[in-house]
Every structure is written in structure tokens, then in C-alpha cells.
């Protein structure tokens, strides 16, 4: 599913849920309206008035019955017939408005009591006998009839309360359901939003990590490209790009490696010829000729150093750099490298200094590779240090058990924004005019690779006296390795 489709589907789900909530609210409102409509049709006041009128009629029937049997006057009988008709009309209206079973039952009882009263009245009337008081049987019927009308009033009031309670219950249920659906809608909205954000954020995170990995030169990295959305298409394009970059990187490495290797043989011949000429084996040279040959020899040496660095970089990138680790005293190693650069240092009147609080410091290292590291640092220091200055090498203890080796010079220093970049391949600090004999920017990158292979680290800091301080850490040799080294010596 495409990202746009995911977003649309998520919002459609939320809209559907909102529609369901609204529809439920409408249904609840309609139910409450129906109940209210029923209550309005009942006309509470009218029902109550009707029942009260029935009670009045019951009282009048009782009085007229007493007067009739006291006087046997037909006028009272006719009045009772009119009251009977009015009462029958009231009963008819109540039957139309009564909806509960309780009301219907009580209406039947009122009708039965009314019929009983009228039957008793007719029975006594046929006796054509006067009574000073209301006949006992008729008095019982009248009392019973009046009592049933009072109960009828209570039934109407109870029925109204029940309908009001039912309406309140419907509203309460609607409110509870609305709260439940609202909470569920909120929860579902959070879940849907989380899923949408995750479906977008996770591919972006992988893509960001992939670009950083590619920026470090790890062109073998690939992104998962499952699915058919935009991120899957982007991942496939990213993988094609990284594959192509990997091919170009391999072509570049192969080219550099082959060219460097092919340059070794003719360069070795050139250096050999220069040495023979300087030794004047073919014949004597005048001073000018000897100076020219020496200049060519220096250029050949620099070219040979560049070729060695290129070959070392090719071996490191191919993972073919070999290390022969062992316990070595770093003090004579440093002194040996100083001796190698002594001639170059005297030409610029630069002095080498070595400071160490101990006569010997054993480290676990590949001696030739550490010589290469120190030689690269000395070579850079000699290039950039002014004439008549001093290059100081210090050997001491690091923050842990590591051995700290630092080389201080008095050169122009390294800008802060270049202090990490100078350890990258082919990076050079562009500050003013180009220094004569400046390399291609591989020496420090090789130093970093070698030191990290020794489980150490290398960095540069500003020299308080001016210039730079290059420092690196090496692991100390174990006591057993030191003993073995002493026995072999």
C-alpha cells in the first residue's frame, strides 16, 4: 500500500468511527424525543384532572344516592344518570391515554367498582323503600368505588414517573455509550496515528542510517525493499545507487593498486640509477651535476613514498594488511626513526628531542608498522616546522593502562574544523601557499588505520607553544611478553 493510501485509509477509518458515534447520538436523541412525545400526548395535567373529576363524580354519586333513598325523588336519579354518563366518558379518555399494564388493570378495577355500585343502586331502587341513611350495602359499594378512584390517581402518577425514569435511563445509557465510544475513538485515533507515523518514520530512519553508512564508504550496505509503496521504491533505487557506487569504488581501488604496482619497478630502477650516480660509480660529477642528481633523487624518494602509501591504502581497503604483533621497547624504535630523519632535520637546523621518565617502555605492536606511523608524523613535522625549531617526542602513561606517544612541532597548526578530517584519505589543509614536497594526504589516514588495528586511537591538539601535537595510544605488553622478548634478545 502506498504512503498516501495509508494516510487516506487512516483518516477514513477515523471519519467512519466519527460517523458511527454521531449516528448513535442521533438514535439516542430520537428515542428520547419519542418518549417525550409520548409524555406530551399523555397530557399529564389532563389525566390528573380527569381522575380528580372522577373522584368528584364518585362523591356526588354517593350524595345523590343518599338523597334519593331518603326522598325517593326521581330528580336525584336523573342526576345520577348524568353523573354516570360523565364518569363513563372520563373512563373512556383514561383508557385511550393509559399505556402501562398497571393503569389498564386499575381502570378495570374502577370500572368493576363503578358497575358494582350501579348494580347495587338498581337493586335497592326496585325495593322502593326509603332510608334515613345510605343503605349499608350501597355505602360499601360507594366507599369501594371512591377508594378505587384514589388508587387510580396513584397509578397515573406512578406511570408518569416511570416514563420520566425511562427517558432518564435512555439518556444515561446514551451518555455512557457516548463516553465509551469517545474514549475508543481517541484510542483508535492514537493507534492509527502511531501506525501511520511508524510506517513513515521507520523507512526514513533506515534511509538515514543507510546514507550515513554509504557516506563512510561502506557501499555493501543495502536497505530492505519489500512492498510496493514509495519507500520500497526509494529503497530499491538506493540499493541500485550503492551497488553502482561499490562498483565505481572497486574500479578506483583496482586502478590505484595496479598503477601503484606498475610504478614500483621503473621507480626502483630510477632510484638505483640515482644512487649509482651520487656514488660516482659511472664517473665523477661536478658540483652542479651532483646537485641536480640529488634533487632528482629527492623527487624519486618522495614519489616512492607516495607509491608506498597508495599500495598501503589499497591493502588496507582490501583487508590484506598483515600485522606481526609482539612486545617491543618503544624507546629504541623511536630513536631509530629519529636517526633516519637526522639528515633532513640537519638541513633545516631542526632538533629532535625525546622525553620519557623510564629507560624502557614495552608495547604490544607490529614494529615496522609503528615505525611507519612515527615516520609519517616526523615527515609531516619536518615539512611544516620552521627552521631552527625543535620536534619533541614524549612517551608516557595515558588515562588508563595505555602508553601515550605524542609528537610536538612548531608549525602553523591545524584549524579546529580540520582536526578530524585530516585523518581521512586525500584530505589536505589548504592554508596559504602549497608547501614544497606536500604529499597527497594519505599518511595520516594510514596512521589512523594502523593505530586502530593496534586497539588504540590517534588525534591532534594545539601546541601551547605554537604548532600541533599528534598523539596516539598503544597497548602495553604483558609481563610474559616482555620476558619472552628479553630472552629472545
Q: Which residue in 411, 355, 414 sits closest to 386, CA to CA?
A: 411
Residue 456: all three cell numbers together: 588504540
The C-alpha cell that represents 254 in the structure block: 583496482
CB 408 within 8 A of CB 391: yes
Give me the tens of pLDDT residue by residue for the chain, a chain 489 residues long.
555 566 667 667 777 777 777 677 667 666 765 665 565 555 555 666 777 777 787 788 888 888 888 888 888 888 888 888 888 887 887 777 776 777 788 888 888 888 888 888 888 888 878 777 778 887 888 888 788 888 877 877 777 777 777 767 776 777 777 778 777 877 887 787 777 777 777 777 888 888 888 877 777 778 887 777 777 888 888 888 888 887 877 776 666 666 666 666 777 777 788 778 878 788 888 888 888 887 787 777 777 777 776 666 666 666 667 788 889 999 999 999 999 888 888 888 999 999 988 888 999 999 988 998 999 899 889 888 889 899 999 999 888 788 999 999 988 888 888 888 888 877 776 655 444 445 557 788 889 989 998 999 999 999 888 889 999 999 998 866 666 655 555
Please give the Cα distance from 77 to 69 (Å, whole number): 10
Terminal Cα distance for the chain, rounded: 72
How many other CB atoms sit within 10 Å of the CB of residue 424?
Answer: 14
Torsion of CA 290, 293, 294, 295, to 10 degrees: 130
Q: Does residue 363 contact residue 404 with C-beta atoms inside 8 Å?
A: no
With H, G, I as helix, E, B as strand and everything else as coil, classify residue 366. Answer: coil
8 A C-beta contact, residue 388 and residue 350: yes
Burial code (b: 16+ CB inside 10 Å, e: under 16) for 251-260 equals eeeeeebeeb
Question: What pTM value is reported for the model?
Answer: 0.48
Secondary structure letter of residue 418 according to DSSP: G
C-beta of residue 356 within 8 angstroms of C-beta of residue 395:
yes
Amino acid at each position: 500500500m502506498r504512503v498516501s493510501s495509508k494516510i487516506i485509509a487512516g483518516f477514513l477509518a477515523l471519519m467512519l468511527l466519527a460517523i458511527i458515534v454521531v449516528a448513535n447520538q442521533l438514535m439516542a436523541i430520537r428515542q428520547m424525543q419519542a418518549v417525550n412525545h409520548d409524555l406530551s400526548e399523555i397530557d399529564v395535567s389532563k389525566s390528573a384532572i380527569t381522575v380528580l373529576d372522577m373522584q368528584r363524580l364518585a362523591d356526588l354519586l354517593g350524595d345523590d344516592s343518599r338523597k334519593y333513598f331518603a326522598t325517593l325523588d326521581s330528580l336525584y336519579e336523573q342526576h345520577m344518570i348524568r353523573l354516570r354518563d360523565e364518569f363513563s366518558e372520563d373512563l373512556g379518555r383514561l383508557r385511550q391515554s393509559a399505556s402501562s399494564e398497571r393503569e389498564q388493570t386499575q381502570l378495570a378495577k374502577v370500572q368493576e367498582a363503578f358497575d358494582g355500585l350501579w348494580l347495587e343502586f338498581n337493586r335497592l331502587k326496585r325495593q322502593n323503600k326509603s332510608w334515613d341513611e345510605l343503605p349499608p350495602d350501597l355505602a360499601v359499594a360507594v366507599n369501594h368505588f371512591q377508594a378505587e378512584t384514589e388508587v387510580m390517581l396513584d397509578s397515573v402518577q406512578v406511570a408518569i414517573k416511570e416514563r420520566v425514569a425511562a427517558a432518564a435511563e435512555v439518556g444515561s445509557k446514551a451518555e455512557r455509550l457516548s463516553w465509551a465510544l469517545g474514549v475508543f475513538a481517541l484510542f483508535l485515533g492514537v493507534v492509527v496515528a502511531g501506525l501511520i507515523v511508524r510506517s513513515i518514520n521507520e523507512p526514513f530512519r533506515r534511509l538515514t542510517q543507510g546514507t550515513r553508512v554509504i557516506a563512510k564508504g561502506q557501499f555493501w550496505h543495502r536497505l530492505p525493499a519489500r512492498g510496493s509503496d514509495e519507500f520500497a521504491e526509494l529503497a530499491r533505487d538506493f540499493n541500485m545507487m550503492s551497488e553502482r557506487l561499490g562498483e565505481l569504488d572497486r574500479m578506483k581501488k583496482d586502478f590505484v593498486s595496479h598503477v601503484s604496482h606498475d610504478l614500483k619497478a621503473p621507480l626502483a630502477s630510477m632510484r638505483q640509477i640515482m644512487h649509482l650516480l651520487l656514488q660516482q660509480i659511472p664517473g665523477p660529477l661536478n658540483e652542479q651535476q651532483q646537485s641536480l642528481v640529488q634533487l632528482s633523487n629527492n623527487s624519486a624518494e618522495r614519489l616512492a613514498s607516495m607509491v608506498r602509501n597508495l599500495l598501503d591504502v589499497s591493502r588496507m581497503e582490501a583487508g590484506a594488511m598483515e600485522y606481526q604483533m609482539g612486545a617491543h621497547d618503544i624507546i629504541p624504535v623511536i630513536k631509530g626513526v629519529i636517526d633516519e630523519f637526522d639528515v633532513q632535520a640537519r638541513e633545516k637546523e631542526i632538533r629532535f628531542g625525546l622525553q620519557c621518565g623510564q629507560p624502557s617502555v614495552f608495547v604490544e605492536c607490529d614494529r615496522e608498522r609503528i615505525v611507519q606511523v612515527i615516520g609519517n608524523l616526523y615527515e609531516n613535522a619536518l615539512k611544516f616546522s620552521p627552521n631552527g625549531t625543535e620536534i619533541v617526542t614524549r612517551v608516557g602513561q595515558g588515562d588508563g593502562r595505555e602508553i601515550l606517544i605524542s609528537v610536538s612541532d612548531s608549525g602553523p597548526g591545524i584549524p579546529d574544523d580540520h582536526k578530524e578530517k585530516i585523518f581521512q584519505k586525500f584530505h589536505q589543509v589548504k592554508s596559504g601557499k602549497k608547501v614544497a614536497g606536500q604529499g597527497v594526504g594519505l599518511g595520516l589516514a594510514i596512521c589512523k588505520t594502523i593505530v586502530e588495528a593496534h586497539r588504540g586511537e590517534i588525534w591532534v591538539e594545539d601546541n601551547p607553544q605554537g604548532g600541533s601535537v599528534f598523539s596516539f595510544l598503544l597497548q602495553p605488553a604483558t609481563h610474559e611478553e616482555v620476558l619472552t622478548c628479553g630472552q629472545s634478545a
